[in-house]
Chain A
C-alpha cells in the first residue's frame, strides 16, 4: 500500500517536474528570441555557428542521404515491380524524401551530431565557469552564447534537409536507372509531374525549419541546465538526443496531419 502511495507521489512529482521544465523551456525560448538582435548586429557570430553546426554535419548528412536513396531505389523497385509500375520509382523516391525522410532523418541525425555537441559545449562552458565569467564581465551569456547557436541551427537545418533530399534522389536514380535499368526519362518525368513544389518541397522545407527550431532549442536548454559535472553533462547530452528525437517524430506526425490531409 505504501509503495502504491509512494508510486503515485513520484508520478505526481514527475508530472509537476515536467510541467515546470516545459515552463522553463518556453521561458528560455522567449529569452533567446528577445535577445536575437545580436544576429543582425554581429552576423559573424551566427556565421561561425552555421559553420560549426552545418558544415561539420554535411558529410554525415550527405552520405546518409545517399544510402537512404539507394535503399529507397532498391526497395521501391521490388515493390513497384509486382504491380508493373516500376516507372513510378522516381516519383516514389522523390515524394518519400521531400515530404518525410528528408526533414525527419536529417533532424534525427542533427539531434545526434549537432545537438549533442551543442549541449556538451554549453554544459562544459558552465562547468568551467566560463558563463559566470561572462556574466561578471557584463556580457549577457544568453545573448552572446545561446542566441547565435540558435540561429545557426535554425538556418543550417533546412539546408541540410534539402541536401539530404537532393542526394537521396540522385542515389535513387543511380540504383534505379544506372544499376537496375529503369528508363531515365520515365524516372524524371513521372517525378516532375507528381511532385508539387508548394505541397511537397516547400512543406518539407517548412518541416525542417520547425524541426531545426525544436532540436536546437532542446540542445541549448539541456546544456544550459546541465549540472556542471562530467556526469551532469553526459546526462544532458543523452536527454538532448532522446527528447530531440521524440520531439521530431511527434512534430512530424502533427505537421503531416496538418499539411498533407486534404
Chain B
C-alpha cells in the first residue's frame, strides 16, 4: 500500500494553526550567511557563544558599521534566530555551561538560496543525470531479482522513494537556482543599460549569449538523458505490474512524473528565453543603437510635458462593412377580427339536484331514525360540515324540522351544544311525526 500523501489543504492548515512565520532583516541574513561561511572555512560544525558574537560583529560591520552595543545586539540576534528555529543549540547542557549552536536545516537552506550554490550547469546536470541513470539501473536489476514483497520494499520501493527522488529533487532545486539567476540577468541587463546606455550593448549581448548557450546545452542534455531515464523507469513499472506490486508501480510512476517535469522545464525555459532574447535584441537594435546619446527619451519627455506644438497621429478608420440582412417575404397574415359568438345563450334544462330536497331528505332520515330533539337532527345532518357552514346549515335544518315534524318547546328553551363549535336552542320533537319528504328529495 502506498504511503498517504499530504494534501496541500492539510499542510496549509498545519501552518496556519501553528502560526508559522519568518522575519529576517538584512542583518539577520548577513549573520546567517557569515555563520555558514565561517563554518565552511574553519571546518566548524558548531559555534560557541563567543564565536557567535564574533561572527555577528563581522556581519554588523558590513550592514551597520557605526552601530554600538554589539554584545547586546548579538544576544538579540541570536535569540531571534533561535526563536525562528534557524539556529539550534546542539550541546544539550542547558544552564550547566555556555551552549554550542549550529545552523538548522532551515537556516542552511536559506543561506544556500542566497549563496546560489545550487545553480544548474551542464557539468552538474550531466553528473546528476548520470548518477540517476546508474541508481535507476541498479533498482531495475533489484526489481528483476526481487521475489518477495519484502524484497520489493527494501530494494525497489525504498530506493525509488528516497534515493532516486532525492537525486531528481536535486536537479529540480538547481533548476530553480538557474531560474533565479536568469531573473538576475534580466535585472543586470537593465542596470547595465541604465549605467552605460550605448556602451552596455556588448556586455548585454554577452550575457544573453551565455545564458542562451547554457539553456541550449541543458536542454540537449535533458532531451538526451530523460528519454533513457524514462525507459528504465518504465521497465521498473512493468516489472512491478508483472509481480503484482502496486507500491513499486506507484513509486516508479511518481519518479517518472518528476523526470517528465524536469524535461518540460528545459523546453519551457528555452522557449521563454528565446522570446526574451529576441525582444532584447530588437530593443538594442531599434532603440539603443538608433539613439546612442539617449537624446530621444529626453525629447519625448519634453514633448509629453508640453514643449513644442501639439500634434495628433493620423490613421485609417474605415467603417465596418455593412452586412445587409437577407430580405425574406413576410407571410400573409389574416386580418385581425373579433370572434363572432351569440351574445345570449338559449336556456338549457339543468338536471342538477335541488339542495332543499336533499336537506329535507337528510332531515327526514334523521327523524325516521328516531331523533327526538332538534339538536339530534342538527348534529346528524351537519356533523360532517366545516364550522362556518354548520352555522348556516343549522338554520336551514331548524326550518326543515319545523316543516317536517311536530316540535314543541317550553317558554325557556334549553341551549344544547351540537359538536364543539355550535350551540342551539333545542326543541323536543314528537316521535313518528315526520311528514313525507317532498318530491325530488334523496
**Is the A/B pair a real complex?**
no
Report A's interface with B, CB cutoff 8 A.
Answer: none
B: residues with CB less than 8 A from A are: none
